[in-house]
Amino acid sequence: MSELNLTSAPAHLRHGSNIGQPLTRRDGILKVKGQATYAADNHPPGMLFAVMAVSSIARGRVTSLDVTAARRHPGVVDVMTSDHKPPLAIDPEIKTNPFVFRMEALHSDEVRYANQPIAVVIAETLEAATEGAALLAPHYETLPALIGLDAGDSFVPPVVGVGNPTENHRGDVEAGLASAEKRIEAVYETPPQYHNAMEPHAIVAAWDGDKLSVDMPTQGLFLSRARIAELFGIAPDKIHIRSPFLGGGFGSKGLMSGPPTLGIMAAKLVGRPVKLVLRREQMYGPVGHRAPTRQRLRMGTDGEGRLTALDHHARTVSSTFDDFYEPAADASHTLYAAPAIRTSHDAVRVNTGTPLFMRAPGEATGSIALESAIDEMAWACGIDPLAFRLKNYAEVEPITGKPFSSKALRACYEQGAARFGWAKRPLQPWQMRDDAGLLVGWGMGTATFPALMFQAEARAAIRRDGTGVMEIGAHDMGQGAWTALAQIAADGLGLDIDRVEFKAGTSDLPDAGIAGGSAHTATAGAAIHTAGAAVIAKLADLAANDERSPLFGAGNAGVIARSGKLFRRDDESRGESYAEILARAGLAEVEARGTGAPNPASMEEYAMHAHGAVFAEVKVDPELGQVRVTRMVGAFAAGRIVNPHLVKSQLFGGMIWGMSFALHEEAITDRRSGRIMNANLAEYHIPVNADVPPLDVITVEEHDPHVNALGIKGVGEIGITGSAGAVANAVWHATGVRVRRFPIRIEELLTQL
């Protein structure tokens, strides 16, 4: 049931028939039949195949390419190089706004990182294009590469993440540490990680005069369109991008990068449609990654185990040519009630592709360090890790002193701990074994992620046949937009979901902003909700002003929209269908637009975050050091849950990423060449099915009247935070060995077991 009131009663107080229901995915049948069309599945007539050649050096200059050999290969149509390419309208080095990153579009022979695109071979077949790229056999002038967290002089970047201050503090950290009864200081390292969505970045580009058609997975249709427009000097409305399904994004498909730009250039060069798909190894460079960090945490506690100070410093890297700084230390802003907190960052520049947002940027890296340190501090105090966290529970946001818009973390701790059986945990490590003799350890971590809102717009319409339309250029990268947003749309329109035509995933629809920051459902949802309310209001206006309608004069009392009908709020026996209202008015449809945006007043007043508590059990072979996670329980409070079925899946996914962070993922860079030596899925380990134990997710009820109209906080990223630390802490509890360099490697356990 959806109610709609012409007054301003907040929507989160009402429960519709669609929001909250565990619907299965509306795109499920397409996906299980192989009929969901991803970008690389398109084949416009006359299409050619483009394959990138990438640099094998990390720094220097391309001095020659054997274009002749490539061209001579049967089937090769053209070779695009820095000497032979269509012009761009602007220099791709120019940053026209903060969401523009510098890219390589063959505008220079300079090489700034390994796997940088240096040429594109276009051919009649994929086989010919691939071999053509190999035949280019580049020669280089090579300079020594800058590699690793100690490369060159460090500096303090102007901002970290997206516009966060580099340093924050509250209270006097040094005094807090000096007065502490117990102190710890520990340094943690996290490695470079790569998004590795299962779908490689791909584009099918086709020009028709100055019109451009693009199939491309993107988490940001409209930012991508704007970037393409400025790069190619055409109006945005000449560009049509289709991105109905992304085969995963995780941040790497948020902003326009070099490779799809090259695909569009290649299509222009040859005057035919072109498909360019990255090879897996080519995803380790030009499309972003999570930068490595080295984090130093210092903490002190008083005699009762209450924090007196928390100091979190993070060193990270950016590329030599652009700026993105993993805001790792910011993870210490929100969770623990230290009277003195300081967070700070510095960085060095290295020869790498520019780092980028990767699922929980900053929160994931910072969380594993913070949660490990909290565990170390609790142990130093001789206090159970959960009791320690409760003792230091933040009633207001520690770094700002603002109240939380809502915070059901205590319930998360309670429910998660109860489900897990945490009360039976021995305080000491190295206490538990299973009956096969394996060491068993239990660890926990607190999860947190900000509840963000971006900008979005939606268009709603009610048609004369009583059906509804909701249009929004939203993105489904697996989180379930086709389903969850359609549920919100159905409630907003007062219709059953199968009476709503929900359109998303193309650039000719209203701008839905970016699918990132765990904010897409909230932002797009708010726009949909508002658009729905606006179109119902128009319909209600028609009826209320029409004396032939049973709703005549209902204006002040208000109406309720439900199942395709409007009812008088004060007398539900009086109502009529949308179709009747429109028929009488002689209208084919009524339409309206709505927007979703952050509420500056709420942001000023409240700290807004989702929270959670994750509990993990690991088993460790006592002699061989191999680790396996055998159980995880996560309890999360993230405001209103639009679809519990899909939310559970997203939280599972995040928890698996957390496990992966603690135990598996790492890009290994050759210390001399700067090349990534495991740029593949055989040796860059992400968890396989056998790594993933039975998982348990509890969604803790939480009502938040401040975050947005629907009370949604987002669940896409929070699952990693807390989970990575929980696994690391469980490994310590099993073995008594505290590993501070991630992922936890066999040798680190082996040498100490």
Partner 1 sequence: MKPFDYVRPTTVEEAVAAAAQPGAVYLAAGTNLLDLMKGNISRPDRLVDVTHLGGLDRIEHLPDGALRIGALVRNADLAHDAEFVRSYPAVAEALLSGASAQLRNAATVGGNLLQRTRCAYFYDTASRCNKRAAGSGCDARDGENRSHAVLGWSDSCIATHPSDFCVPLVALDAVVEIEGSNGRREIVLDELHRLPGDTPARDSTLEPGDLIVAVRLPPAARGFAAHAGYLKVRERTSYAFAVVSAAAALQIENGKIKQARLALGGVAAKPWRARTAEDVLRDVAPTADAFQEAAWRALGDAKPSGDNAFKIELARRIVVRALTLAAAGTPARLPPLPASPFASTSGALHV
Partner 2 sequence: MNHSISLTVNGARRDFVLDDPRVTLLDLLRERLHLTGTKKGCDRGQCGACTILVDGKRINSCLALAISHDGADILTIEGVAHGDQLHPVQAAFIAHDGFQCGFCTPGQIMSAIGMMREGQAGNDPERIRECMSGNLCRCGAYAGIVDAVLEAQGRMDETNQRRSA
Binding at 1: pick from partner 1, partner 2, none (beta carbon under 5-8 Å per type): none
Residue closer to partner 2, measured from CB, 464 or 645 = 645
Q: Which of 200, 285, 558, 564 binds partner 2 (CB under 8 A)?
A: 200
Residue 197 to residues 221, 256, 304, 359, 675: CA-CA distances in angstroms? 18, 16, 46, 11, 20
Q: Which of 15, 82, 99, 126 binds partner 2 (CB under 8 A)?
A: 126
**Piece of the chain touching partner 1 by CB under 8 A; list 62-70, 171-179, 523-531, 661-669:** 661-669
Distance CA 523, CA 597 (A): 6
Residue 24 to residues 504, 602, 643: CA-CA distances in angstroms? 18, 33, 9
Is residue 181 annotated as part of the catalytic site, yes or no? no
Quote the longest CA-to-CA distance of the chain.
Answer: 86
Distance CA 485, CA 23 (A): 12
Q: Which of 143, 198, 588, 746 binds partner 2 (CB under 8 A)?
A: 198
Closest distance of CB 429 from partner 1, Å: 12
Q: Check: CB of residue 82 under 8 Å from CB of residue 265.
A: no
Binding at 125: pick from partner 1, partner 2, none (beta carbon under 5-8 Å per type): partner 2
Q: Which residues share a beta bridge with 275?
A: 49, 204
Nearest to 581 by CA among 566, 591, 593, 568: 566
The DSSP symbol for 744 reads: P
Q: Is 673 in the site for partner 1 (CB under 8 A)?
A: yes
Binding at 28: pick from partner 2, partner 1, none (beta carbon under 5-8 Å per type): partner 2
**Piece of the chain touching partner 2 by CB under 8 A; list 37-45, 135-143, 369-377, 593-601:** 37-45
Q: Is 670 in the site for partner 1 (CB under 8 A)?
A: yes
**Piece of the chain touching partner 1 by CB under 8 A; list 1-9, 352-360, 449-457, 741-749:** 741-749
C-alpha torsion angle, residues 729, 732, 733, 735 (rounded to 10): 160
Binding at 280: pick from partner 2, partner 1, none (beta carbon under 5-8 Å per type): partner 2
Binding at 245: pick from partner 1, partner 2, none (beta carbon under 5-8 Å per type): partner 2
Q: From residue 72 to residue 101, what is the string marking binding to partner 1 with x (rule CB under 8 A)?
A: --x---------------------------
Residue closer to partner 2, measured from CB, 235 or 682 = 682
Q: In a 3-state reduction of DSSP, which class is residue 636?
A: strand
Q: In a 3-state reduction of DSSP, which class is residue 77?
A: strand
Map the footprint of partner 1 across residues 432-471, applying CB under 8 A. 432-436, 438, 440
**Piece of the chain touching partner 2 by CB under 8 A; list 3-11, 361-369, 569-577, 691-699:** 691-699
Contacts of 401 (CB under 8 A, 6+ apart): 170
Q: Check: CB of residue 119 under 8 Å from CB of residue 157.
A: no
Residue 194 to residues 367, 463, 561, 686: CA-CA distances in angstroms? 18, 46, 47, 10
Binding at 31: pick from partner 2, partner 1, none (beta carbon under 5-8 Å per type): partner 2
Q: Is 401 in the site for partner 2 (CB under 8 A)?
A: no
Where does residue 547 rank: exposed (0-12), middle (13-18), buried (19+ CB within 10 A)? exposed
Q: Which of 108, 164, 431, 649 binds partner 2 (CB under 8 A)?
A: 649
Q: Which of 3, 131, 717, 748 is catalytic?
A: 717
Helix/strand/coil (H, E, C) string of 642-679? CCHHHHHHHHHHHHHHHHHHHHCCCCCECCCCCCECCC
Q: Which of 675, 706, 738, 740 binds partner 1 (CB under 8 A)?
A: 675
Q: Which of 36, 234, 380, 579 binds partner 2 (CB under 8 A)?
A: 36
Residue 275 token pair:
């498909």
**Piece of the chain touching partner 1 by CB under 8 A; list 126-134, 299-307, 316-324, 454-462:** 126-134
Q: Check: CB of residue 202 under 8 Å from CB of residue 247.
A: no
Q: Is 667 in the site for partner 2 (CB under 8 A)?
A: no
Residue 519 token pair:
């904010």
Q: Is 34 in the site for partner 2 (CB under 8 A)?
A: yes
Start-to-end Cα distance in the chain: 59
Binding at 196: pick from partner 1, partner 2, none (beta carbon under 5-8 Å per type): partner 2
Q: How many CB atoms lie within 10 A of CB 385?
A: 27
Q: Is 45 in the site for partner 2 (CB under 8 A)?
A: no
Backbone angles phi, psi at 559, to 5 degrees: -125, 165
Distance CA 482, CA 666 (A): 33
Q: Residue 444 half-sphere exposure, CB side, CA atoms within 13 Å?
A: 30
Residue closer to partner 2, measured from CB, 223 or 358 = 358
Q: Is 694 in the site for partner 2 (CB under 8 A)?
A: yes
**For residue 282, is it left (φ>0), alpha (ψ between -120 and 50) or beta?**
alpha
Q: Which of 654, 711, 714, 722 binds partner 2 (CB under 8 A)?
A: 654
Q: Which of 178, 427, 681, 746 binds partner 2 (CB under 8 A)?
A: 681
Q: Is 43 in the site for partner 2 (CB under 8 A)?
A: yes
For helices 481-493 and 520-544, the axis angle rounded to 10 degrees is 20
Q: Is 682 in the site for partner 2 (CB under 8 A)?
A: yes
Binding at 41: pick from partner 1, partner 2, none (beta carbon under 5-8 Å per type): partner 2
Closest distance of CB 453 from partner 2, Å: 23
Q: Is 747 in the site for partner 1 (CB under 8 A)?
A: yes
Binding at 649: pick from partner 1, partner 2, none (beta carbon under 5-8 Å per type): partner 2
Count of residues that bind partner 2 according to CB under 8 A: 62
Map the footprint of partner 2 across residues 492-531, applying CB under 8 A. none
Q: In a 3-state reduction of DSSP, which class is residue 333?
A: helix
List strand residue ranges (DSSP E) for 658-716, in order. 695-699
Q: Which of 107, 238, 402, 685 binds partner 1 (CB under 8 A)?
A: 685
Q: Which residues share a beta bridge with 48?
A: 274
Q: Check: CB of residue 441 under 8 Å from CB of residue 732.
A: yes
Residue 436 token pair:
């096969």
Nearest to 518 by CA among 205, 249, 165: 249
Distance CA 463, CA 465 (A): 5
Q: Residue 31 half-sphere exposure, CB side, CA atoms within 13 Å?
A: 14
Q: Is 630 in the site for partner 1 (CB under 8 A)?
A: yes
Residue closer to partner 1, measured from CB, 93 or 683 = 683
Binding site for partner 2 (CB under 8 A): 24-25, 27-38, 40-41, 43, 49, 125-128, 131, 196-200, 245-248, 250, 277, 279-280, 477-480, 645-646, 648-650, 652-657, 680-682, 686-690, 692, 694-695
Binding site for partner 1 (CB under 8 A): 56-57, 74, 127, 130-131, 134, 424, 426, 431-436, 438, 440, 619, 621, 623-626, 628, 630, 663-664, 668-673, 675, 677-678, 682-683, 685, 687-691, 745-747, 750-751
Hey, which residues are catalytic here?
A: 717
